[in-house]
Structure 1
């Protein structure tokens, strides 16, 4: 199935910001473009704004002058739906209302040719539901662009229950030809990005609600240790707390209030108070004149230990052994036991595993990092039973490695580790349910929300049983289903080697041995 020919017309219904952006993408790809809106004046304004953007691109040398003039002549406002009769593709970008959208597509069916594709740019409504009642639902699908459409490369190509595979393929190839990166997705709540991204916000809010750390510290740890572009508190302030919470609530309701997607009470209170983020002048953080940026909690200087012992295989934190040695601290290694780093005062440094420090004597947990060499901050978690000497040695050790240190509360799974584990779990479940391929999900999360790695890439890097073990421990400490590992993750971690039962027991035994005599 080939892409829609450049000689064919593309129509966009809805002349708002998103509609204008989609029209610009199709226009610069070489199509004749029609913009329609129920408000004719808005359609004319929208077409004019697209021409202005194309002109500015030419003025800045980003587009050839002749190409810009040609494009300006290929876009116009449509006075009525009848003007869209020759369109090979109509993309709808109107208000997020099922009744409005269904009425629009029913009217479009009466106008366009039988081979025309009809697409919705909805980010939250069911493509299958929108197609209900159409005479030819096979040609109907979702094309979910991300704002701003001319700049962001990702487009989710969403097939509803009745979508003809040939129609989805034609749309996919068309979007690819427009210079975008399309990913295939089944019609599921939130599609790919808005479904898989929920833990990035939810786990940060949960750590905050559990009194583990303040927003500035959580954001800093996810950025400077996890490698994420923005922290979830700052990002939701940018998006708008009302918008972000509405998406979370929509996904939660669509999954029959699954505990995996439970909204945050703290965020609900923000919305109720009118603290919606940047647009209202205050969200998690204050904005506007005189507002001071919030500083993350950072430990004061401590002396680094002169020597440590690395016990067992540190797995995802294996790079620390070399970093410690390069920093001038003597390192002794032993293969038996662990995994942990033995400090001189008999305390232990243990990578976050879903357990709590209070369960053991003199243990400091440290959080997961995307790259321990490049990370500029590391979070540590302690309990009231952790000795001052052990904490000081742990802080001093990471400071010697050039890291800033944030000491947070005794939160199982800490910050980065539990977030990444949940992202991996939701991805495994989505792949198993046929929502999208692991490769497409990774692509969507990297391009759609700027994650440093796709969840499946994290899974490969961390090891096949890492996320399962951490969530299993979290589920024991925070029962209710939120952290219960999916069957898909269980199969990925254990079932493929025929050691499901033995593997789980063996994983727990290794952690218990690391703490032998300390609990």
Structure 2
């Protein structure tokens, strides 16, 4: 590893302060640079408060806390950064600002100084394009809060040398982080592969499929995600989440699968930015609405005959209960010429269902009664192909495979990034393997057929894995 002693952090906002705290906690002298001295003071005061809290909880000694604070040196003259071995920029997410800043750094720093950006989506290749020795420029993307989150994306631009990427990975591990390597493509790993988690929720909300609390509960309690997508965007900030989506969408030349949401745009325009403004999808100043689960069905609807016809299909008297494969309940009812209830993936004790409009009420009640007898809380949504959990999982796995096929990162690093960066219960590729590639392919093909959109086009690697899966099974 190249010898890294002094670290400079540019920008004293939340991310800059967090990164400075990490570096100082691991023995580095840290130059904290900002054009405003009062911003640096606020950042160091925030670090002091966090360290004091750790001391009070017995997580850190008072002496260690003082040593960390002593390593933080406020800097308002950019020329002083020439003394740094590693510079981490955590300033404005605007390409023109970063290019101008890195050009200035390249002029004042010796060629061996590593120049890195904490950008979450801007091209590292573009940042390095016009500077001397672009091989020393890389992305070093921490996740918020930097002192807590384990993941760091080490991003190589077109000119980044392998030795620089190796050094940054080793440094991240020395700082107690888990690095993942990726190429400089829009959104890198996490902000690219996570887009369907948000976009499918916004689409369901736009099409009035269900209320926000039902959408969130389905993904959280039925899919196993730590938070629902809509409540998570409120927590992140609607402006921040929307800006990243727009950035990825435009960087991919308006690829439809990254299409931003008009509903989210309306929230941003209205200043309803989520928890930080008091209102977003939810009103954070009041009580969060609760999911209205189906009432317990009378025993008179208890099924007389129940038979598992095939994987994912259960016959309940005259009703077919079918786990979704991307078709509407009504289309299935017409094909089978009998009542149909479609159910989403049931990871825990939640069952999200959709019913054919031609169903007699008694048929739907029998299916609900059966699910309740299996210990499930049932909630009904509109007749929506792929429902909520299955279509989201399929889109995430498809995006992960597309990133893998295009050389963005390795399979292991993609799965690690999604588990550690956004706390998914499983890596999307390992998840897809367990769910079944053929199942995911069928679901996406049915969604593409239903909507007539490129948005749901399966990537070629998904088709290949589904084909291999089928050949193994045969």
TM-score (norm 2): 0.94
How far did 1:14 drift? Answer: 1.0
Distance of 1:52 and 1:357 partners within structure 2: 55
1:128 matched to 2:125? The reply is yes
1:352 matched to 2:349? The reply is no
Q: In structure 2, which of residues 128, 153, 160 is the aligned counterpart of residue 156 of structure 1?
A: 153
Number of the residue aligned with 1:430: 403
Contact 2:93/2:119, CA 8 A, preserved across alignment: yes
Structure 2: which 5+ residue stretches go unaligned? none
How far did 1:495 drift? Answer: 5.3
Number of the residue aligned with 1:343: 316
Number of the residue aligned with 2:351: 378
How far did 1:175 drift? Answer: 0.7
How far did 1:252 drift? Answer: 0.8
How far did 1:221 drift? Answer: 1.0
1:311 matched to 2:309? The reply is yes
1:109 matched to 2:106? The reply is yes
Distance of 1:150 and 1:350 partners within structure 2: 46
How far did 1:44 drift? Answer: 4.1
Q: In structure 1, which of residues 238, 243, 265 is the aligned counterpart of residue 240 of structure 2?
A: 243
Number of the residue aligned with 1:209: 206
Distance of 1:186 and 1:156 partners within structure 2: 10
Q: Kindly report which structure 2 residues correspond to 1:260-339, keeping only aligned pairs within 5 A, or say none.
A: 260-288=257-285, 291-302=286-297, 303=299, 304-314=302-312
Distance of 1:81 and 1:258 partners within structure 2: 39
How far did 1:405 drift? Answer: 0.3
- Which stretch shifts more, 100-109 or 224-233? 100-109
Number of the residue aligned with 1:83: 80
Q: In structure 1, which of residues 157, 165, 169 is the aligned counterpart of residue 166 of structure 2?
A: 169
How far did 1:431 drift? Answer: 0.2
Q: Kindly report which structure 2 residues correspond to 1:60-79, keeping only aligned pairs within 5 A, or say none.
A: 60-79=57-76
Number of the residue aligned with 1:460: 433
Change (3 A) 1:420 1:113: same
**SS of corresponding position for 2:27:** coil
**Cα-to-partner distance string for 1:392-446 (whole Å, 9 max, x where unaligned):** 1111112112221011111000000000000010001000000111221111111
Distance of 1:240 and 1:42 partners within structure 2: 22
How far did 1:63 drift? Answer: 1.3
Q: In structure 1, which of residues 367, 387, 402 is the aligned counterpart of residue 360 of structure 2?
A: 387
Change (3 A) 1:58 1:287: closer
How far did 1:271 drift? Answer: 2.2
1:366 matched to 2:343? The reply is yes
**SS of corresponding position for 2:454:** coil
How far did 1:311 drift? Answer: 1.3
Contact 1:445/1:451, CA 8 A, preserved across alignment: yes
Contact 2:438/2:469, CA 8 A, preserved across alignment: no
Number of the residue aligned with 2:419: 446
Change (3 A) 1:47 1:268: closer
**Cα-to-partner distance string for 1:86-126 (whole Å, 9 max, x where unaligned):** 31110001111222212221221223232221100111211
1:221 matched to 2:218? The reply is yes
Number of the residue aligned with 2:227: 230
1:43 matched to 2:40? The reply is yes
Distance of 1:124 and 1:268 partners within structure 2: 19
1:255 matched to 2:252? The reply is yes
TM-score (norm 1): 0.86
Change (3 A) 1:211 1:34: same
Distance of 1:424 and 1:459 partners within structure 2: 6
Number of the residue aligned with 1:329: none
Contact 2:209/2:381, CA 8 A, preserved across alignment: yes
Q: Once superposed, what is the RMSD of the aligned Cα atoms? A: 1.9
User: Number of matched residues?
Assistant: 466
Contact 1:348/1:390, CA 8 A, preserved across alignment: no
Contact 1:27/1:75, CA 8 A, preserved across alignment: yes
Contact 1:184/1:440, CA 8 A, preserved across alignment: yes
